[in-house]
Amino acid sequence: MNSASRDLECEPILKRIREEILPLFESAVVDDRVVFQNPHLVRCWEQLSCDRKHCPAFQKNPVRCWQVVGTYCGGKVQGQFVEKYATCRACPTFVAACPTLVEELGEHLNNMLFLLRAEKRRAQEAMRRSEHLNKELTSALENLDARNREIQEIMTTDRLTGLYNRNYLFTMLEDEFARAARRSEYTFCLLMIDIDDFKSVNDTFGHSNGDRMLSRFGIVLGEGIRKFDRAFRYGGEEFVVVLPDTELAVARLVAERIRYAFEKETFVFVAAGKDKSADVSRTLSIGAVTPSPEVTAELLLAQADEAMYAAKTQGKNRVVMFGGLRNA
């Protein structure tokens, strides 16, 4: 056969390849449903006279049985497509489906698309699982972070007043002393506050009413300080306020604002065994101090306590500055 005759014989095949096979490559990129439509597919159970009813391809519509997992051929159950494909290509079912080069190319293209799409589905499923796990991990970390904040709040907060507790005070003072050591012109102030004659509230009206007064004072104190100040319940009816980057003159103004605000508070209490209620008010004695060189946290608190005690001995309801213990 000369070359002209061969070309003439191949022309119909090439024409079909151009028209039926090549367009599938472009279409398959954007559409996972694209396959080569092969009119020569046969029913494998008929082709092979098979009566294995438990086979997943048995009595199904024309199906590419070589792509079906677990088919029963050759006297045993076949595995995955990639495991059995070499055998399936020689099977009469596959051969009957490929009478010409066009069908053979089309089915090989289908098989490649089948593998690629299966891998794509696995990748998408892995991505979905990964995203799901990431969401669960993110949620778990958020819950852990929230729980840690709750624990931190419990560890640093006085439950009755909502202010910071005594333990956290020393952590805060360490930070302030460290900041002062780094910055030569930096200073901070500390207020020691005591509710005057608080013991008589507990003795006359009971501890529950005393707790009401302490709780309310926590609110008054929180409203009286600045956003960057920190208030602490030091113990009993004693409180401490740390005022960062503050001179004594400004600390006195803050202290007077707190003192005046609480002086206006009136509580309605009923004494034990009494029918009538009583209007009760209390005042504050406040000591203010700023650290001098080489002072420690313990000494600073002792100085503030000394100034606060001086306020009580001078008549209560006042602010006294440490250093000369002069009335503010």
Q: Which residues are annotated as catalytic?
A: 237
Cβ–Cβ < 8 Å for 183, 247:
no
Number of H helices, E strands in the chain: 11, 10
Residues 290, 242: Cα–Cα separation, whole Å: 10
Please return the burial class of 279, using the count of CB atoms within 10 Å of its CB with bins 0-12, 13-18 and 19+: exposed
Give one word for 236, left, alpha or beta, with left for phi > 0 and alpha for psi -120 to 50. Answer: left
Residues 114, 81: Cα–Cα separation, whole Å: 9
Residues 153, 165: Cα–Cα separation, whole Å: 10
Neighbours of 294 (CB within 10 A): 6
Residues 189, 260: Cα–Cα separation, whole Å: 19
Cβ–Cβ < 8 Å for 287, 304:
yes
Cβ–Cβ < 8 Å for 176, 245:
no
Cβ–Cβ < 8 Å for 281, 263:
yes
Residues 321, 328: Cα–Cα separation, whole Å: 6
Residues 242, 190: Cα–Cα separation, whole Å: 5
Alpha-carbon torsion, ordered 107, 112, 116, 121, to 10 deg:
30
